[in-house]
Structure 1
Amino acid sequence: MSSRINIARPQGVSYSPDPHGIGNSRPSSGYRAADPENPVEQLRYYAKQIEDYVEIYSQPLRPHLPAIGRFLIIVTFLEDSLRIVSQWGDQLWYLQKHRHFPKGISHLFLLINVITMLVGSGAVVTKRHTEYGVAGLLGVVILQGFGYGLIFDMTFFLRNLSVTGGLFMVFSDSMVSRKKLFAGIPNISENDRRKYFLLAGRVLLIFLFLGFIFQGEWSIGRAFLSLFGLIACIMVAVGFKAKWSASFLVITLSIFNVAVNNWWSVHSAHPTRDFLKYDFFQTLSIVGGLILLVNMGPGGLSVDEKKKSF
């Protein structure tokens, strides 16, 4: 709902009403409807208005988005390291009984995972040697996939593709904040690499939602959510209105995560509690990657960036 405010104007000053017939109490955003009666033009106009309001009201939170995104990305690794330590005996039993690890190797496998996750997470949060921290965490994702025999599990595979996308977003963010070798002279090759990491991060981030779309029982509500989510995923992947679509996925995944992966409501002795907890923190990590995307934008290899050239 919109309203008009009548303001007295000095005598002798005249102006014509909005030639397009679309009232706007805010300063022009730069978009003018060529044909105000065209529904597509009206949709573009109001989309631009919403985009302007989102930019305005998100400003107080914007300086904190990188820190929030980085922290959410590494929470799944912190939770996993804590789970390994608190369930050390059970972890060893599984690796030795079902994965046929020798005793010494199973201990070393768990120890390497815990140390790498803690050190890598610390590097990501503190922004110190971020590239080494990201490389270590990526190594943990691959090592656990083979070590626990989950590399061919589709749900595990899609989720970890999305986690990998989040880590790529962290690496891209570190390339932005990294100090240049010579002040004022951009490193062209590094800028090019950042474009490709942002593209890879965008594409990989959407695999979690794609897994949600193709799994589980269908209902009318799920169908509508899946449809809008799929559209948002495609927009993120190609970089069209990427901040919008990423924001939509952040809100949708956050609501879904709290409603479905509510591990705190399950008894501690129930076998599904650990699975729900694992899914909950992994989804938080992917939300963190999407938050970094909202903050940084889609990068040079995107429709949004190409539109600026025309």
Structure 2
Amino acid sequence: MMADSHGLLPPRRLAILNSLTPTLPLSAMASRISIARPASGGYQPSYQPDPHGFGSSGSSSGFRAANPDDPLEKLRNFARQVEDNVEIYTQPLKPHLPAIGRFLIVVTFLEDSWRITTQWGDQLWYLQRHRHFPWGLSHLFLAVNVLTMLIGSGAVITKRYSEYAVGGLLGVVIFQAFGYGLIFDLNFFLRNLSVIGGLLMVFTDSMYTRKKIFAGLPSISETDRKKYFLLAGRVLLIFLFIGFMIRGEWSWSRAFVSVIGLAACSMVAVGFKAKWSAAFLVLTLSIFNVFINNWWSVHSAHPQRDFLKYDFFQTLSIVGGLILLVNMGPGGLSVDEKKKTY
């Protein structure tokens, strides 16, 4: 092969030689660069398999790995295990939780309407003698209460016109508080706040199925309304336990239950581990209700029986509100939701 006067090959032969030279892929070229280690100084390109240090077993400068022996980390792991177990074992009940919660919330109104009907004469006597209701107004007051509670409870259970049913039942709670003169009774007031919280949970649950409820409030989106009503329902639900704490005689067992319950109520109010804490309160209140408000063990002629019965069914209503909270979650205005964002 002959070169020209400058020692270079003719262009045609140079092209032929280039076509015969095998080309290497970029990866192979990169590997050859990394293998090549010239003895002379200067720039030596090298290949690093993990340039960012993600595969390094050591901790990086801005991140500290969780210590499995840390007591706080153990508590977090235990809480995760409890949440996972609750999620697994309640899975068969999940499709039925909304119906169970709705029924339990209105069960106190059903019981109250039954009590007014069966004790009609005693109710009239109390309203006319102690509350100074005129003869016709006392009859109208009781009749409107009974009809509103029956129709509203049926609408809540069947999920038809739930927002109007909740409004009617809220009206019953307010009018009965003034009509029977119990507005200044602290225990009654706190319990009714919790019942109102349960009704707000029903209202929020109905918002998930109905597109528009407040057509006159275009400035507030549907998602924001759910957040605010869920927050109000969560906060009001815990007032029952506050009423339990301030009523009755104190003992070591009562103090222990009060501290644990207050911690769970605070978690529900701020929305931290809300499902877990609400499930804990459902279990605690159910056990408490059966052993403390056991009205069936009291003689029918005893005056305490009616009070225990009233407390029993009101506690069931609040348990129903907590069950709806377990089903729906705490909503956007909660610590749990903020943790997902940040």
Q: Does TM, scored on the shorter chain, surpass 0.5?
A: yes
Q: Structure 1, residues 170-225: CA drift from partner, whole Å, max 9, x if none? A: 000000122579xxxxx971111111000000000000001101111111111111
Q: Which TM-score applies when normalising by structure 2?
A: 0.78
Give the aligned partner of residue 180 of structure 2.
Answer: 148
Q: Distance in 2 between matches of 1:255 and 1:43?
A: 25
Matched, 1:260 2:292: yes
Q: Distance in 2 between matches of 1:225 and 1:53?
A: 23
Check whether the contact 1:239–1:302 (CA below 8 A) recurs between aligned residues: yes
Alignment-mate amino acid for residue 147 of structure 2: I
Alignment-mate amino acid for residue 143 of structure 2: L
Q: Which TM-score applies when normalising by structure 1?
A: 0.86
1:215-254 equivalent positions in 2, closer than 5 A? 215-254=247-286
Query: Please, which of 227, 233, 237 is the counterpart of residue 201 of structure 1?
Result: 233
Check whether the contact 2:212–2:222 (CA below 8 A) recurs between aligned residues: no
Query: Please, which of 59, 72, 79 is the counterpart of residue 40 of structure 1?
Result: 72
Q: Distance in 1 between matches of 2:212 and 2:66?
A: 44
- SS of equivalent residue, structure 2 residue 80: helix
Give the aligned partner of residue 10 of structure 2.
Answer: none
1:243 Cα offset (Å): 0.6
Matched, 1:126 2:162: no
Q: Distance in 2 between matches of 1:100 and 1:33?
A: 71
Q: Structure 1, residues 141-162: CA drift from partner, whole Å, max 9, x if none? A: 0000000000010010000000
Check whether the contact 2:264–2:280 (CA below 8 A) recurs between aligned residues: yes
Q: Structure 1, residues 31-54: CA drift from partner, whole Å, max 9, x if none? A: x97111111111111211221121
Q: Distance in 1 between matches of 2:179 and 2:186?
A: 16
- SS of equivalent residue, structure 1 residue 177: coil
Alignment-mate amino acid for residue 123 of structure 2: Q
- SS of equivalent residue, structure 1 residue 150: coil
Q: Distance in 2 between matches of 1:224 and 1:274?
A: 29
Q: Distance in 2 between matches of 1:129 and 1:265?
A: 38
Which shows bigger deviation, 85-94 or 213-222? Answer: 213-222
Aligned residue pairs total: 275
Query: Please, which of 111, 116, 121 is the counterpart of residue 89 of structure 1?
Result: 121
Give the aligned partner of residue 50 of structure 1.
Answer: 82
Give the share of equivalent positions with the same residue, in percent: 78
1:228 Cα offset (Å): 0.3
- SS of equivalent residue, structure 2 residue 285: helix
Q: Distance in 2 between matches of 1:37 and 1:113?
A: 60
Give the aligned partner of residue 202 of structure 2.
Answer: 170
Q: Distance in 1 between matches of 2:161 and 2:273?
A: 32
Q: Closer, same or farther in 2 for the Cα pair 1:241/1:104, shift >3 Å?
A: same
Q: Structure 1, residues 6-31: CA drift from partner, whole Å, max 9, x if none? A: xxxxxxxxxxxxx9xxxxxxxxxxxx
Q: Structure 1, residues 83-125: CA drift from partner, whole Å, max 9, x if none? A: 0000000000000000000000000000000000001001100
Q: Distance in 1 between matches of 2:260 and 2:168?
A: 35
Matched, 1:294 2:326: yes
Alignment-mate amino acid for residue 284 of structure 1: L
Alignment-mate amino acid for residue 214 of structure 1: I
Which shows bigger deviation, 187-196 or 170-179? Answer: 187-196
Q: Distance in 2 between matches of 1:296 and 1:225?
A: 26
- SS of equivalent residue, structure 1 residue 60: helix
Alignment-mate amino acid for residue 134 of structure 2: P
Q: Which ranges of structure 2 fall in alignment gaps of 5 or more residues?
A: 1-56, 58-63, 214-218
Q: What RMSD, in angstroms, separates the aligned Cα atoms of the two structures?
A: 1.6
Query: Please, which of 302, 306, 327 is the counterpart of residue 274 of structure 1?
Result: 306
Q: Distance in 2 between matches of 1:180 and 1:234?
A: 32
Q: Distance in 1 between matches of 2:65 and 2:139?
A: 66
Alignment-mate amino acid for residue 108 of structure 2: T
Check whether the contact 1:205–1:290 (CA below 8 A) recurs between aligned residues: yes
Alignment-mate amino acid for residue 300 of structure 2: S
Check whether the contact 1:33–1:45 (CA below 8 A) recurs between aligned residues: no
Alignment-mate amino acid for residue 292 of structure 2: V
Q: Distance in 1 between matches of 2:201 and 2:259?
A: 25
Q: Closer, same or farther in 2 for the Cα pair 1:104/1:176, shift >3 Å?
A: same
